[in-house]
Structure 1
Amino acid sequence: MSTLERLAATIESRKGADPKSSWTAKLLARGPKKAAEKFGEEAVEAIIEAARGDRERLTSEAADVLYHFLVMLASRDVALADVYAELERREGTSGIEEKARR
């Protein structure tokens, strides 16, 4: 199991937990809209660090983005395995072709 899969499993295990018990439980208790907003905030912070060129800060912000992405997925009952399956479905397909199908 990868680090990302373990993190997704931990996030899933926090669903329904007391919001006072963990940051993840608190985020999930606030609902999908708040989870999406928090993901967006973290994505913007990563963009800023990418533009600045600070590799260490970008790495840290990228970790925050991945965590909040997984929280957002969990808040809408989308499993990481489903995202992996979609990526596998797209594998070997030109990005141009894939976008044309949409």
Structure 2
Amino acid sequence: MNDREVDRRLREWAGMRSEVKRVAAVGFPAYVEVFIEPDMRGMGGVDESGGFAAWADYADRWHDELASELGGDVRVYPWLGSGTPASERRVREVLGHRSPR
């Protein structure tokens, strides 16, 4: 699957979920990294302090959905900044030792 097809499928997937603000992907031959900016209101109104607890619940489900949708190995990360997707190092800082799925 090429980058345009991945982007199209991600936009369609995100467009059907109130808990997703933005989504972006970085493709690699072995896997696709998907960065998701959650909409805390769509996640049941959690505030920022509880956001990452809610993130973990959603990330597991999103991982499974996206792996099926994109047909391959997918890694899901939170999109932490307002500009570009978060780096893996920053994701690990925020989530601690828990590996993204």
TM-score by length of 2: 0.29
Larger radius of gyration: 1
TM-score, normalized by length of structure 1?
A: 0.29
1 or 2, which has the higher strand percentage? 2
| Higher fraction of helix | 1
